[in-house]
Amino acid sequence: MSTSFWCESLLIDGVAVAGVRLEVDSAGRITRVQVGSAQAADIRLGTVVPGFGNAHSHAFHRALRGQTHEDDGDFWLWRERMYRVAAQLDPSNYQALATAVFAEMLVCGYTAVGEFHYVHHHADGVPYEPAHAMELALAAAARAVGIRLVLLDTIYLKGGIGRELATEQRAFGDGTATAWLTRWQSLRAQLEGDDLVTLGAALHSVRAVPPDAMREVLDGLPREVALHVHLSEQPQENTDCLAAYGLTPTGLLESLGALTARLSVVHATHLSDTDRARLGDAGVTVVMCPTTEADLGDGIGPALALATAGSPIALGSDQNAVIDPFLEMRGLEMAERLASQQRGRFSPAALLAAASTAGYAALALGRHRLQPGDPCDLVEISTTGVRTIGSLLGQLPLTATAADVLRVFVGGRLVAECGQLVGGERPAMMMADALVRLGR
């Protein structure tokens, strides 16, 4: 069934256009965009932006929110606590947790999410029966709330360069690249034809995947599949990689032919000038996760330098200590201001593109500029609240928060409104139930 929307203002490529009608087909794709008056059958909206694409998420990390913030330490200490949560997961409680996390994302304006998923098996490494139980739990969670999910199934073979998996990492491993590819192909067959859920892939990092295994994965994956990798989040990764291979992590990926426009690297915080040039020259997308990078004390990544070099910048919520696309946009710009002591490093339009169109592109979800043929994934923003009143519409990325999200549409279908799902479910109550299942 086709439908139509009339937007009082629609931000197209970051520019507010008044009085825009969108006609949408039964598949949820835009068929016509025109400036004009509303018609009787139109769904009337106020100020509308493209739905946000969360290009990097670890849903189960949400269980650590509010649990790890008072102590000293660094990423490596936080990681030990993360392993404890991973050990508690099973398909049932993971589905409940992911459903709550995806619901929170949806009411906050995310219409698509790339889930960087590596908790594949029982805690002792034994595969689930039936197969793919954890992956299918995530798919069911996305379908339950109506968010687009790109499941970035992750290969994770080593506990560090030259080290076997530790006991707490056994759930992540498939033993060999061949075994991972076999499981990936089987999972792809099960998910084929799903309107909301598609399968992507990820190399966890150069720490967790040896070069020969990375080469096998690169040769074995279809070229159209989104491929992601954690890159140089911590200086220790660079040090270990240089010691083992004589190359930086970026240099190692380049030597394997991995640096192409289909690749997205996550964080890219600690790079050399040569690394930045390599990524930019290849058109590799860089997924920044400002709230997580700040929370873990990772450092400020060279976002503007990477963008200037030619790398598209996308955004992700990563550990989900914060789920708010506006705060990720704001974090990207404010970190640049602090590092450079200059304002306006990224324009509001560039921030909006990073949070929406670049995120969709990084997840191989196609074009997302609210043009004919694009998915009708929309977010309506309040411009009369205490945070946004008086804002120029083009500057909403620097004034609004997720609390200003009114209605959210995925494929032209209303999925969330004023902080709750369209069926009335509230993410906070869903999360409360999920945490009880985890023994909290």
Are 266 and 116 within 8 A, CB to CB?
A: yes
What is the helix, strand, coil percentage profile of the chain, to 5? 40, 25, 40
The rounded distance, in Å, linking the Cα atoms of 147 and 246 is 42
The rounded distance, in Å, linking the Cα atoms of 223 and 350 is 28
Catalytic residue among 58, 267, 270, 368: 267
3-class SS at 81? helix
Cis amide leading into 348 (omega within 30): no
Give, in degrees to the nearest 5, the angle at Cα 185 between 182 and 188: 150
Catalytic residue among 318, 324, 377, 404: 318
- In 3D space, the residue among 181, 257, 172, 171 whose CA is nearest the CA of residue 207 turns out to be 172
Sign for the pseudo-dihedral over CA of 181, 143, 331, 314: positive
The rounded distance, in Å, linking the Cα atoms of 383 and 46 is 8
Query: How crowded is residue 388: how many other Cβ atoms within 10 Å of its Cβ?
Result: 19
Are 394 and 15 within 8 A, CB to CB?
A: yes
Q: Which residues pair with 414 in a beta bridge?
A: 409
Encoded amino acid at 158, one letter: K
Q: Which residues lie below 8 Å from residue 391, measured CB to CB, with a gap of 6+?
A: 383, 399, 400
Query: How crowded is residue 133: how many other Cβ atoms within 10 Å of its Cβ?
Result: 18
The rounded distance, in Å, linking the Cα atoms of 177 and 197 is 24
Whether 267 sits among the annotated catalytic residues: the reply is yes
Whether 318 sits among the annotated catalytic residues: the reply is yes
Q: Which residues pair with 218 in a beta bridge?
A: none
Known catalytic residues?
Answer: 267, 318
